[in-house]
Structure 1
Amino acid sequence: MADTPGQDRNLPASPRKLQKAREEGQVARSRDLGHFAAIAAGGAVLVALAPQLTAWLQTLLADALHFDNAALAHPDAMIERLGAMGVKLLWIVVPLGALMAGVAIAGSVLIGGWNWTLKPLAPKFDKLNPIAGLPRILSRQQLIDALKACALALVLGTIGALYLRGHIETFGGVIAMPLPAALQQVGSTVLGGLMLLLLALAVFAAIDAPLQHHLHASRLKMSHQELKQEHKEIEGNTEVKAKIKVRMREMSRRRMMAAVPKADLVVMNPTHYAVALKYDDTKMAAPRVVAKGADLVAMAIRDLAKNHQVPVLQAPVLARALYAHADLDREIPAALFSAVAQVLAYVYQLRAALAGHAPMPGELPTLAVPAELDPHNEAAP
C-alpha cells in the first residue's frame, strides 16, 4: 500500500501490511547483534582450540623459516612454499569465516525471522534520482543508523586504544621471549582485548535489537485512511457490493417473473402475497414454487398470470403459508401437500369445465393448512 504524505500514522500495521512488507524484504534486522554473534562465535572457537592452534602455528612457522640449498638455488621453490603455506592457512580461515557468517545469519534471523524473497534485488530506477533520495538520506532511520555507527566506532576505538596503551610493554617484551612463550603471551593478551570488545558489542546489540523492532513497527504504522482503504481492498467496496446485490436481485426477479406464464396456478392473499406453483407428475415428486412475492411484486405476479391465462385463486391462508415456508425453485413442504393437492384438483376441474368436458366446480373447498404454518396465526410458534 502506498504511503501518502501528510497522514497521521498512529495505528499499528495490519497483518496484511506486515505480510506485504515481508514479501518486499522489509523485516527487522540488527547488524550489531549479527556482529556480536559472529565475533563471539569466532572467539569461542579460537579459545577452545587455542592449544592445538598454537602448536599448529609453531610447526607452520618453523617450516616456513627452514631453508636448504635446493630452495635457495631455485627461486620458484619459494613461491611454491608460499602457496602451500597459504593453502594451509585457508584450511583454518575458511571454516572459521563460514562459521562466523552462519552465526551472523542466525542472529539476523532471530530478530526478524526467516524471509526468502527476490524483490529487493529487482532494479528500482526511482532510487537513481538524487532529489527523490534526499528525504531518505535525511530520514530518522538514516540519522539513527549514522549516529549509532559513529558511537560504536568511537567506543570500540577508545577501548582498543586504551587497551593497547595499557599493554604496550607486554607486546614489546614478546620480542625477547622464546617462540612458544611469545605466542602464548600474545594470545592471552589479545583474548583480553577481544573480551572487552565483545562486552561493548553485547551492550550495543542489547540496545539495537529492540530498537530495530520499534523502528520497523514505526515505519509500517498506518493512518485511519490507509486502514479503511485496505479494508475496502479486502472486503470490497461497500457501494459496489450493494450495487452487485441489487443487480443480482433484479436478475433473480426477472428469471422468476419469466417463469410465471408457465405456472399451473397462482395462489394469492388478495393484496399481500402471491405464490406461483408448477407441477409436472412426470418430472416432479411434488409441486414446485416457481415465483413468489409480497405487495407490489405480488401484484405484478397476479397481473402477469392473468395476461397469460394462468388461474389465480384467492386462498389467503395457503398463500401466506407457502410464502413463509416454501423456498423459490424448491418443492413445497410436505405439510402443505394436501392443501396444494386440493387447489390443483380444483384448477384441473375448472379447466375441464371451461373446455366443455366437465361441469363447472363450485366454491373452492376449505383447505387443510396446518395452523402452525400460518404466520398470521397468533398460536403459531
Structure 2
Amino acid sequence: MSATDIQYPETEAEVARIVTEAHAAKHPVEIRGNGTKLSFGRPVQSAATLSLARLSGITNYDPAELVMAARAGTPLAEIEAALDANNQMLTFEPVDYRPLLGSTGEPTIGGVFAANISGPRRLLAGAARDSLLGVRFVNGTGEIVKSGGRVMKNVTGLDLVKLLAGSWGTLGVLCEVIFKVLPRPETAVTIVVSGLNDAEAAEAMAAALAMSVEVSGAAHLPESVVHKFAGAGLPGGPATVLRLEGLTPSVEVRTERLLAEMGRRGEVTVLETAGSDQLWRDIRDVKPFADGSMKPVWRVSVAPSVGHQLVAALRLKTGVNAFYDWQGGLVWLCMEADPEADLIRQYIKALGGGHATLVRADAAIRTSVPVFEPQPKPLEALARRIKDQFDPGGVLNPGRMTETM
C-alpha cells in the first residue's frame, strides 16, 4: 500500500481483513470517518488510510426503548434526522468542528464517539461516552471485538466501552456503536444576564447551578466575542447565558425563579426557543473563532471557579481572546500568534489542575506541541500498556495523540 491509498470497507469483515494485513505487514494505517477532524490532533504517520464512510446505516432503533445502534460511518445528519422524526435527540449535543477547522464532508457517529465530542448540554447530561452502551470494533491485530449491550443494566465490559470513547482510533476501529437517546425538550429558553465581567459571570453561573432549576447550559460571552452571536438576538455588551429546557409549564416556573435571582445581578432578558436554539448551536460550534484562520485555538477544562483567572493571567502575557462554557469550566482560547502551550499548562497547574487540548493549529505546530494534555508518568505507562494490548504492532493511527501513540 502506498501513502496515498484509501480503502473504503463496506462490512466489518472487510475492516478486519484490512487491519489484519496491515498488522502482518507492519504498515501503519490512518483511521478516519469522513475526514472532518483530520487537522485535530497530531498528524498521523501512516502508510495508508482506512475510511469508514461506506460502513454506514442505522442497524437498530426502537424509539420506545430510547436506544439506537448504527454503523460507525453513518452520517450524524442521518442519525439526527431519524431522531427528529420521533421527537428525540442525542443527549450530549456534539460539536460540529467543520466551521472552526475549515473542513468539509459529513461528521459520522463513529467519529463523534471516537473523539468523545460533547457540547453545552454536557453540563447536565454528561459526555458522549456516558451515552455509549456498546461497541463492535476491530483491534490492531484484526480481531473483531464486541463489548456492551443495548440496555445499561445488562451491559458487560462497560469500562471497555468507555475506553474506546475518546481514543481517537488508536485502540481499535469502531464498526458499530449502540447508544442511548432522550426525548427532545418541548420548550427551551435562555435567560441572558447583561453587563457582567468574567469574575461576576462565574459567580452568577455558580449561583444558577446551585438552584434546583435544572440549567442545561451555562456560558459567558465577553464583550470581545458577543457580536459574533448577533443572529441569536442578544442585547449589547457581555452576556451570561443560562438555558432551561423541558415541559412548557415546568420551564415557565423555573424561568421565573431564575429571573428573580439573576435580576439582582444585572439586566435580564429572555430568548425564546428559536433564538435560544441558534445561540447554543453557535456556542457549541465555537462560532467566535470560526474565522477561516489557523490561529491556535485551545479547549481548556478547569474548575469553573478559576477559568476567568486563567484568562486574566494569560492576558497579562500574550494576545488571547476567550469565552466560557460549562459554567466556566470549559474555556475556549484563541491565541493571536504563538500557541503558548507551556505557559497555558503552567497556569492550569497553578490554578489546581485541568487539561488543555490544542484543537486548531497548522501541522508544524501540531507536530511540535503536545496537542493533548501530557500525562503523569504512571498514567503514561498505563496508557502505553493498554495500547500494546489493543494494538501490539502500533498500526492504528500512530502519532495521533502523542508522538509514540
Verify same fold: TM over 0.5.
Answer: no
Give the number of the structure whose residues are more often strand, by fraction.
2
User: What TM-score, normalized by structure 2, do the two folds share?
Assistant: 0.15
Q: Which has the higher contact order (CA 8 A, sep 6+)?
A: 2
User: What TM-score, normalized by structure 1, do the two folds share?
Assistant: 0.16
Give the number of the structure whose residues are more often helix, by fraction.
1
